[in-house]
Amino acid sequence: MNSIILLSVLGLGNLFLGFRRSNRLLLPVMMLILGLVLTVNFIDWNEGTQPFFNGMLTIDNFSVAFTGILLLTALVLVPFSQKYVLDGEANLAEYYSLLLFSLVGAIMLVSYNHLLMLFLGIEILSVAMYVLAGSDKRNLRSNEAALKYFLMGAFFTGVLLFGMALVYGATGTFELSQISFAVQNPVNASLTPMLYIGMLMMLLGIGFKVSAAPFHFWTPDVYEGTPTFFTAFMSTIVKTAGFAAFLKLLVQAFPAASAQGIWLPTLTAMCVLTLLIGNVGAVAQTSLKRMLAYSSISHAGYLLIALVAFNGQLEGASANAILFYSLAYSVATVSAFGVLKLVADARHREDYDGFNGLAKTNPLLAFALTVSMLSLAGIPLTGGFFGKFFVFSAAVENGYIGLVVFAVVMSMVSIYYYLRPIMALYMRDADDATAEAVPVTAFQSGALLVLALLTVLLGVLPGLVAGVL
Amino acid sequence: MLTVLLLLWPVAAALLLHFFKGGAARVAAFGAALVEFALAVFAAVTFNANHTGQFAYDLNWIPSAGIRFAVGMDGLSLSLVLLTALLVPIILLSAFRRKFENESVFYALVLFMQTGLIGVFTAQDAFLFYFMWEVALIPIYFLAGVWGGVNRARITFKFFLYTIVGSLFMLAGFVYLYFQTGPSLDGLSAHNAALASFYSLNLPVETQLWLFWLIFAAFAVKMPIFPFHTWQPDTYTEAPAPATMLLAGIMLKMGIYGCMRWLIPVVPAGTDYWQNLVIILAIIGIIYGAIIAIRQQDVKRLIAYSSLSHVGLMIAGVFSLTQLGMQGASIQMLAHGINVVGMFFIADAIERRTGTRNIADLGGLTRKAPVLTVCFLVLLLGTVALPLTNGFVGEFLLLAGVYQFNAWMGAVAGITIILGAVYLLRMFQRVMLGPDSSFTATFTDLTGAELALLVPLIVLVFWIGLFPNFFLHLSEGSVMNILGEVVKR
């Protein structure tokens, strides 16, 4: 709760800093804010379940842990916006404030206890993202991305809202535990179809946000057009918050066997499709940014496995697996997008060949990108390996062996496309035009180093995070 | 605790190496590897061959999943740890002759890999084993990929994909086994992955039949056994000499060791069923590797194929499930590691001086380099398995083991000795004897440093050949335990 209030107030305060017409203060202030909120967030750790606003939001270990991931991601991501500072971007204060506000939405998504809060959270998060997707105003691609994201997003928000209305109609409540009760003890059996249609529509709505197939079509185009800094935000924070919200919805509102009988096959089908499209789509890409877009689809697929394997408790194996996976994925993805942004800013290209010979000119960038690719591919010694390991073992434990076999085959495919940037970095020589070192500031080097170390730490001592819930 | 020290020292040294530049980095790396060797020798001296699980250390690694950082050594582990600790300094020393870019990173990767290798040989927990298995892979991928030959990107890519797909199958097998086990010791997790728990599973035969292939996939690629070997000659040829030595000298032993420790005793019924097929594949590999080796023009490629042929015999020996075969494999692993590293070093020395590895371009080196000739001949005869050399003890026991299992298979596998003599002596004759070529006109003999590197290897060739009992005694207890697990069920 503290984090929501702090972020809102400081976000507003941050807007006023924009009047100074000097960007130099903004980045340190932003990092200070995020660091402060991250610390404050953990005050609520192990304080039990605390309801707020008449129980519309609840803060518990689940929400504190996920909020921690969201804030940490934002904190390590911010240094990569330094080019905006140096270029004297006129609207930087607004961008930063929008990021802080969208974080508020994301935090609501991980701590809601009431469907209205779910909707508000998604809207707060998304509206900010629509704007930021189009923040590169003179770039046609950025405009296209914003428009696409907005139109599709608005449509799926409508679907989500419609679903909520139907669920409300069938159960008479927006509160998660009461919905769960009403699903198990239906007052009027003729309303059951309406309830399940409503539930499925909500699944579609959230499925769109986390770019699960078949609602993923916007992802590659929007990711590509959006300025890289905000793409990173989109593919980490939106996804983490979306999956936490997904899990809460399924576990707290629809755990009943009858409801599971409907959402489980739906999610399983989505999961298989997402894994297939994400991984096979990524193979064909030649641009790192588009590859990362498809990779983000495929990771949504792995996270869906954890949802499918849920065992009825909010703080059980599934939640732990999602928590660990989101953390490992976010850390690796921020690092990948960070390097991509730095290289793309300097070399003006985003394809694999743009990274040729980077190991010679910028060993640190090459190292950071390598660690991140290995982590996304799930190679041991990185957090990504244990993320996949926990997700898969949660699924095997609940008997989804076929699904896991399919996912393992898909991760074998993924090794192919994650290795390609590594090959460019270390095994190919730069073309003459790209032989200069990419400028990196101390802030950014520090952030990349922290991210790489964090990835290795998660891969060597996973016990630090595994099983905390 | 000593095992942990053996594991941590190389990786710590690798990290510290970043503070050294250029020549200092080499010396520091070599010094670190010597310390590691001293530790391994200390372990060997204090080792009691009658006990298993010595120098054990057990730490709760991931409590919520029952995964432990459990390491320990028996005779088999120790002999391979010794081999690793011996070969790494020699391999580092051999790299001194060449100029590498980013030297400190190069040497750090070699040391890093040493941790992975020792981890594989000492792990007592399935997931730790898998973890270390991949820890050993990542550095060698970069060693071969960054500092390798012209086609390195494509070839190391193939190597990496091959091995990682194989090991993912193994991981899947381990995960399946994991879910069959009982709760962990501390009760925090419903399952555990300790080696001992895997040994006591008693799985139904039908399960073991497919589980065998899941686990074997990783080892089959790594060793490699025919027909999973296609990555091997290319990778050996393209990788820089030190990386090739690591691959052939130590890394392929990971596969054989894995079979002995993590496959045969875990799925004994599955092994029993597939035993014939594996031995036949191994024998095909022996003959196939040898015949292709005869036709090779490239020295490095020839040694690569000869390695394929020799490893086939070790696999056949292990899968004969006889004491002779298994002990033969464990001593042959040492002998092969020593010989192949020496041979690759000499191939590299010749290439550095002449700029070519093509047999047709070479000739007449004997007159110019008598010392090199003697060293080469000793190592070569060791590889051919001449009596009094280390190769003889291993191959004799291996063949005896295979013969015990099936006389016909033993007879066919025995061809390896004849074919081995054919291609190796043919290479020796063309490279060392005969008339000079334009490439060898200015050939110089081995320098003192190079000789210093080869002398320990040559001493070992004779030591193991003349007094094999120390090494046989070391592995006897382990092999009996493994066979005991197989017979028990």
Q: How far is CA B381 from CA B294, B321, B330, B342, B368, in A?
A: 16, 28, 20, 12, 21
B62 → chain A, closest CA residue: A463
Residue in A412, A427, A466 nearest the CB of B65: A466
Interchain pair B135, A423: CB under 8 A: no
Tell me B191's DSSP state: -
Query: What would you measure as the largest C-alpha separation in chain A, in angstroms?
Result: 73
A357 → chain B, closest CA residue: B146
Report chain B residues whose CB lies below 8 A from the CB of A380. Answer: 130-131, 133-135
Residue in A396, A427, A461 nearest the CB of B179: A396
Interchain pair A427, B145: CB under 8 A: yes
Answer for the pair A120, A241: CB distance below 8 angstroms, yes or no: no
Which of A379, A456, A458 best tests the B interface by mutation, with the highest count of B CBs <10 A? Answer: A379
Report chain A residues whose CB lies below 8 A from the CB of B179. Answer: 393, 396-397
Percentage of chain A with pLDDT > 70? 99
> What is the rounded distance in angstroms from the CA atom of residue B475 to the CA atom of residue B470?
9
The H or E element that residue B57 is part of is strand B54-62
Residue in B135, B145, B175 nearest the CB of A396: B175
Interchain pair A466, B62: CB under 8 A: yes
> What is the rounded distance in angstroms from the CA atom of residue A340 to the CA atom of residue A345?
8
Q: How many CB pairs under 8 A join A and B?
A: 70
Neighbours of A352 (CB within 10 A): 20
Residue in A385, A426, A463 nearest the CB of B145: A426
CA angle B310, B252, B211 (to 5 degrees): 105
Interchain pair B64, A463: CB under 8 A: yes
For chain A, give the mean pLDDT. 90
Cis peptide before B224 (omega within 30 of 0): yes
CA distance B203 to chain A (A): 18
Which of B8, B64, B238 best tests the A interface by mutation, with the highest count of A CBs <10 A? Answer: B64
pLDDT in tens, A204-248: 999 999 999 889 899 999 999 999 999 999 999 999 999 999 999
pLDDT in tens, A435-445: 678 888 888 99
Model pLDDT, residue B247: 92
Contact residues, chain B to chain A, C-beta under 8 Å: 60-65, 101-102, 130-131, 133-135, 138, 142, 145-146, 152-153, 156-157, 160-161, 164-165, 168, 172, 175-176, 178-179
Q: Which of A306-315, A459-468, B168-177 has the lowest mean pLDDT?
A: A306-315
Q: How far is CA B154 from CA A55, A73, A105, B238, B241, in A?
A: 58, 35, 46, 10, 18
> What is the rounded distance in angstroms from the CA atom of residue B181 to the CA atom of residue B175?
10
Residue in B63, B153, B175 nearest the CB of A393: B175
Answer for the pair A107, A52: CB distance below 8 angstroms, yes or no: no
Model pLDDT, residue A67: 95
> What is the rounded distance in angstroms from the CA atom of residue A82 to the CA atom of residue A63?
30
Comparing C-alpha atoms, which of B401, B375, B415, B392 is closest to residue B335?
A: B392
CA distance B485 to chain A (A): 28
Which of B161, B164, B238 best tests the A interface by mutation, with the highest count of A CBs <10 A? Answer: B164
Q: Which residues of chain B have a pLDDT value below 70?
A: 49-50, 488-489
Answer for the pair B402, B317: CB distance below 8 angstroms, yes or no: yes
Q: Is B67 helix (H, G, I), strand (E, B) or coil?
A: strand
Comparing C-alpha atoms, which of A107, A116, A146, A110 is closest to residue A129?
A: A146
> What is the rounded distance in angstroms from the CA atom of residue A291 to the CA atom of residue A413?
13
Model pLDDT, residue A138: 87
Beta bridge partners of B298: B358
Contact residues, chain A to chain B, C-beta under 8 Å: 320, 359-360, 363, 374, 379-381, 385-386, 390, 392-393, 396-397, 405, 408, 411-412, 415-416, 419, 423, 426-428, 461-463, 466-467
Model pLDDT, residue A385: 93
Residue boundaries of the structural domains of chain B? 1-266, 275-489
Q: What residues contact residue B246 under an 8 Å CB cut-off, 6+ apart?
A: B87, B91, B110, B113, B140, B143
Q: Which two tokens stand for residue B476?
A: 């006897």
Answer for the pair A33, A74: CB distance below 8 angstroms, yes or no: no
CA distance B66 to chain A (A): 10
Q: What residues contact residue B361 under an 8 Å CB cut-off, 6+ apart?
A: B354, B437, B438, B439
| Residue A432: pLDDT over 70 | no
Report chain A residues whose CB lies below 8 A from the CB of B180. Answer: none
The runs of H, that is alpha helices, within B321-405 are 323-354, 365-368, 370-384, 390-405
Q: Is A351 helix (H, G, I), strand (E, B) or coil?
A: strand
Q: Is A115 helix (H, G, I), strand (E, B) or coil?
A: helix
Answer for the pair A115, A198: CB distance below 8 angstroms, yes or no: no
The H or E element that residue A44 is part of is none
Interchain pair A379, B134: CB under 8 A: yes
| Residue A433: pLDDT over 70 | no
The runs of H, that is alpha helices, within B385-468 are 390-405, 407-432, 448-466
Comparing C-alpha atoms, which of A223, A196, A215 is closest to residue A304?
A: A215
pLDDT in tens, A4-20: 999 999 988 888 887 87
Report chain A residues whose CB lies below 8 A from the CB of B133. Answer: 380
Residue in A393, A408, A428 nearest the CB of B168: A408
| Residue A318: pLDDT over 90 | no
CA distance A357 to chain B (A): 11
Answer for the pair A261, A327: CB distance below 8 angstroms, yes or no: no
pLDDT in tens, B170-206: 998 998 899 888 888 777 788 888 988 898 888 899 9
B173 → chain A, closest CA residue: A405
**What angle do helix axes B323-354 and B469-488 make, rounded to 10 degrees?**
130
> What is the rounded distance in angstroms from the CA atom of residue A436 to the CA atom of residue B7?
39
Q: Is B194 helix (H, G, I), strand (E, B) or coil?
A: strand
Tell me B190's DSSP state: S
> Is residue A341 very low, low, confident or very high in pLDDT (cuts 50, 70, 90)?
very high
> What is the rounded distance in angstroms from the CA atom of residue A342 to the CA atom of residue B237?
37
Which of A403, A419, A464 best tests the B interface by mutation, with the highest count of B CBs <10 A? Answer: A419
Mean per-residue pLDDT, A162-190: 90
CA distance B188 to chain A (A): 11
> Is residue A434 very low, low, confident or very high in pLDDT (cuts 50, 70, 90)?
low
Residue in A380, A419, A461 nearest the CB of B160: A419
> What is the rounded distance in angstroms from the CA atom of residue A254 to the CA atom of residue A259?
6
- Higher per-residue confidence, A317 vs B300: B300
Interchain pair A423, B153: CB under 8 A: yes
> What is the rounded distance in angstroms from the CA atom of residue B434 to the CA atom of residue B417?
25
> What is the rounded distance in angstroms from the CA atom of residue A421 to the CA atom of residue A415?
11
- Higher per-residue confidence, A147 vs B96: A147
> What is the rounded distance in angstroms from the CA atom of residue A67 to the CA atom of residue A104?
10
Q: How many CA atoms lie within 13 A of A448 on its CB side?
A: 25
> What is the rounded distance in angstroms from the CA atom of residue A173 to the CA atom of residue A168?
5
Report chain B residues whose CB lies below 8 A from the CB of A374. Answer: 138
Q: What is the ipTM of this complex?
A: 0.88
B67 → chain A, closest CA residue: A463
Interchain pair B168, A396: CB under 8 A: no
> What is the rounded distance in angstroms from the CA atom of residue A290 to the CA atom of residue A135?
19
Residue in A374, A428, A467 nearest the CB of B153: A428
User: What pairing do the DSSP bridges indicate for beta strands A50-52 and B54-62?
Assistant: unpaired
Comparing C-alpha atoms, which of B413, B392, B159, B425 is closest to residue B285?
A: B413
CA angle A224, B158, B335 (to 5 degrees): 145
Model pLDDT, residue B489: 60
Model pLDDT, residue A55: 87
Which of B105, B125, B133, B134 best tests the A interface by mutation, with the highest count of A CBs <10 A? Answer: B134
User: What pairing do the DSSP bridges indicate for beta strands B67-73 and A50-52?
Assistant: unpaired
CA distance B146 to chain A (A): 5
DSSP string over A73-87? HHHHHGGGGHHHHHT
Which of A283, A315, A358, A381 best tests the B interface by mutation, with the highest count of B CBs <10 A? Answer: A381
